[in-house]
Structures are given as C-alpha cells and as structure tokens.
Amino acid sequence: MDATIVVLGGDGIGPEIVHATRRVLDAVALRHGHTLRYDEQLIGGAAIDATGQPLPAATVEACRRADAVLLGAVGGPKWDDPRAPVRPEQGLLGIRKALGLYANLRPVKVYPALADASPLKAERLVGVDLLVVRELTGGIYFGQPRLRERREDGSERAVDTLEYTDGEIRRVVRLACQLARQRRGLVTSVDKANVLESSRLWRQVAIEVAAEYPDVKLEHQLVDSAAMRLVTHPAGFDVIVTENMFGDILTDEAAVIGGSLGLLPSASTGEGRRGLYEPIHGSAPDIAGKGVANPLGTMLSAALLLRYSLGLEAEARAIETAVERAINEGARTRDLGGTLDTTAMTDAVLARLG
Ligand code: IPM
Ligand code: MG
C-alpha cells in the first residue's frame, strides 16, 4: 500500500505528539511493506503566524489530495484575544467542514492497569467500552452567529444559533446504528428535547432511523442526565450519538474515566474513506515544547487512520496492542502519574510493536 497522509501538527504540543506518532507509523509501515508519504501543512495558530489565515487554501487542497489527515492540536494563549479577527480553532472547524467530515468517532476504552489513574472507583470501570458518535459539521458550532453588538441602552449582546436539518441528523444517527450493529447493539441518543426544538427534531429523526435497524435498540437520554450517568454507570453505554457541542463536552468527561484526556483518539469521517484523525485533547500550552506530552491519544488516532482510511486492520491492531502492552507493563507519562517523557513513551510503544 502506497498512501499519502497530510500531517497537521498545529500548535502547542501538537507537533511533538505528531512527530512521535510518525515514528510509530513508519515502524508499522516498514514491517508490513507499506509506503507512507507525509505532506506537512499548516493549520491553526501556526498558520495564522505564517500566512495570516488559520486554514490556508494550500492546506485544504493538500487534504483533498491525500488519503487521510493526521492532526495534533490547535490553539493557545498567543491567539486567544477575544477581539482577534481570526482564531486557530477556525482552522480546525474549517477543515472538518471542507472535507465533509460530519461524524466524529470517539471510542472510550478503560485499561484495567490504569484504574488507579481514574477519578472513578475501580468497580465503576468494569466493562466500560463505549463509542461516542459526535455530529461534527452542524449545530451551534456552525449556525450563523450574530457578533457582539452594543445596544441602545448600553448593554451588549451576542447570539449563536443551534440549527439542524433532518438530513444532517439522519446521516449521523444512521452511522451510529451501523456501528452499534458491530458492537452490542445499543444506541443512546443524547439530546435536550425537553427544552430545545432542534433536539425534538433530533429525537424524531433518531426514532425514524432506528426503525430501519430492528436489531439495534435505541434509547433517548437528556444530556444533563447522560453527563451524570457517564460517571455513575459508564458501563451501561454502548454507542452514544449526539449533536456537536453535547458531544464535545461529554467526550472530555468520558475521556478522563479512562484515566487521562491524553489517551482518547478520534476519527472524523464523511462520505468517502478519507478521514481526519486527532486526539481529543487540546494543545496543552502549559507543557508545550517540554517534550513531556502523552503521545498515546495521537498514536491511537493513527491506528484508527490505518483502519478506516487505509483499510489496514492488522496494522491498526499492531499499534493498539503495542500501546496496551506498554500501559500494562507500566509505561506512564506524567499525566498518568509516571515519569516518562514523550520520546521514552514512544520508545516503549515501538519496542512492543508486533
Ligand atoms: C475538540 C476540540 C475542538 C472542538 C476545539 C479545539 C475547536 O475541543 O475537538 O473536541 O470543540 O471541536
Ligand atoms: Mg473538545
């Protein structure tokens, strides 16, 4: 297999964890006889500094030509001025939209060896294996905002719009049902239908879609109670499908159940095979440049890249197994209570690649 991967290091720890992950991808490619070509492009704050834009046209074009995109993280205090005309995050939202990546898969797995690192009691972690399917190109992230305005009485107002069409809901719920079929067959659709009109549409469409999948059981849960259940009974979930912002919030919560935000990978997919793969964590400006970031979330994202965009299941598993073995055998970065730096953790994974 000959494939081109666009690499978007981005900001903060992004370039470090992506560099570490490339070492692992190269080792896997070498072992299995594949050629992976990397095309490094700019996004986020780094792109603003170099070009004035968070998502240069060259980046979008390169991504369209590539088989897959691997991304580190974007954002940081340097670009955080609320009055700035452009923001790093616009680059990330822009590339998701430009590539039509409407579904973001965030699998939450608990490694028993990390039970100590979890804020939850060990008995609550037994059997936790869930997949959040987050809608990624609609909702309040993309509805027309009304920027801040000063009103006649001197007060200020800003407006965001939470908007969904039935088609946007249907395609992501359908994907959730298909994925549930390959798992335990339960889809929990999370909404706020007791308050929001868009959630009532979401719920109605979810019911219609689930009717096409008689082997899948659909349940509905309000987002506030879902947030609670994630920490009281996380093992009760199989596939969670939800709108963009609820999914953003719930997945940070779900991630720490496993011990660290640094472990959770994600895959963003659309119609074709080309996807974008990134850890769910941010750019961690506090530790950027120190070489101590946990690269595992990015490595596990690269495994998803091999599986979903390149169809390389054995190679994906090789990375996942190596990560699991490294964890089981005690490899720990600082976020997991250990002392390994990024390079040492990467070496630990490389040493266990089958
Ligand atoms: C995520 C991040 C992004 C999001 C930010 C950086 C725009 O939090 O991927 O979860 O909100 O989608
Ligand atoms: Mg987030």
Residue 170 buriedness (CB in 10 A; 0-12 / 13-18 / 19+):
middle
Phi and psi torsions of 12, nearest 5°: 60, -130
Asked which of 231, 257, 283 is the last residue of a domain, the reply is: 257
Residue 240 β-bridge partners = 132, 188
Ligand 1 in reach of 92 Cβ (< 6 A):
yes
Is the pLDDT at 260 greater than 90, yes or no? no
Range of the domain at 163: 119-257
Is residue 280 within 8 Å of residue 136, measured between CB atoms? no
Residue 131 and residue 247 in one domain: yes
Residue 83 and residue 156 in one domain: no
Whether residue 252 lies in the annotated active site: yes
Residue 162 and residue 238 in one domain: yes
Per-residue HEC secondary structure of 123-145 comes to HHHCCCEEEEEEECCCHHHCCCC
The active-site residue out of 49, 80, 166, 224 is 224
Q: What are the pLDDT digits (tens) for 74-118?
A: 999 999 998 899 999 999 999 999 999 999 999 999 999 998 889
Residue 134 and residue 184 in one domain: yes
For residues 329-337, give the mean pLDDT. 95
Is residue 328 within 8 Å of residue 295, measured between CB atoms? no
Whether residue 26 lies in the annotated active site: no
Which of 6-10, 70-74, 151-155 is predicted least confidently?
151-155
Asked which of 211, 227, 257 is the last residue of a domain, the reply is: 257
Q: What are the pLDDT digits (tens) for 109-159?
A: 999 999 888 999 999 999 999 999 999 999 999 999 998 889 999 999 999
Closest ligand 1 atom number to CA of residue 245: 11
CATH label of the domain that carries residue 248: 3.40.718.10
CA atoms of 147 and 159, how far apart (whole Å): 7
DSSP line for 283-326: --GGGTTTT----HHHHHHHHHIIIIIS--HHHHHHHHHHHHHH
Q: Report the candidate in 72, 16, 75, 13 with the shortest Cα–Cα distance to residue 44.
A: 75
Residue 124 and residue 242 in one domain: yes
Residue 229 and residue 317 in one domain: no
Taking the centre of ligand 2 as the mean of its atom positions, its distance from the CA of residue 155, in whole angstroms, is 30
Closest ligand 1 atom number to CA of residue 89: 7
Taking the centre of ligand 1 as the mean of its atom positions, its distance from the CA of residue 12, in whole angstroms, is 14
What is the length of the chain? 354
Residue 131 and residue 245 in one domain: yes
Residue nearest to atom 6 of ligand 1 (CA): 89
pLDDT at position 147 = 85
Task: Give residue 37's pLDDT band: very low, low, confident or very high (50, 70, 90).
Answer: very high
Query: What residues contact residue 352 under an 8 Å CB cut-off, 6+ apart?
Result: 321, 322, 325, 326, 329
Residue 221 and residue 321 in one domain: no
Closest ligand 1 atom number to CA of residue 104: 9
Residue 253 and residue 127 in one domain: yes
Residue 252 and residue 173 in one domain: yes
Q: Residue 114 domain-assigned?
A: no
CA atoms of 199 and 158, how far apart (whole Å): 22
Is residue 174 within 8 Å of residue 182, measured between CB atoms? no
pLDDT at position 116 = 87
Task: Give residue 259's pLDDT band: very low, low, confident or very high (50, 70, 90).
Answer: confident
Q: Residue 106 domain-assigned?
A: no
CA atoms of 297 and 299, how far apart (whole Å): 6
Q: What are the pLDDT digits (tens) for 220-249?
A: 999 999 999 999 999 999 999 999 999 999
Residue 133 and residue 245 in one domain: yes
Q: What are the pLDDT digits (tens) for 197-225?
A: 999 999 999 999 999 999 999 999 999 99
Residue 83 and residue 152 in one domain: no
Which of 13-27, 107-121, 168-182 is predicted least confidently?
107-121
Number of domains composing the chain: 2
Q: Is 75 helix (H, G, I), strand (E, B) or coil?
A: coil
pLDDT at position 290 = 98
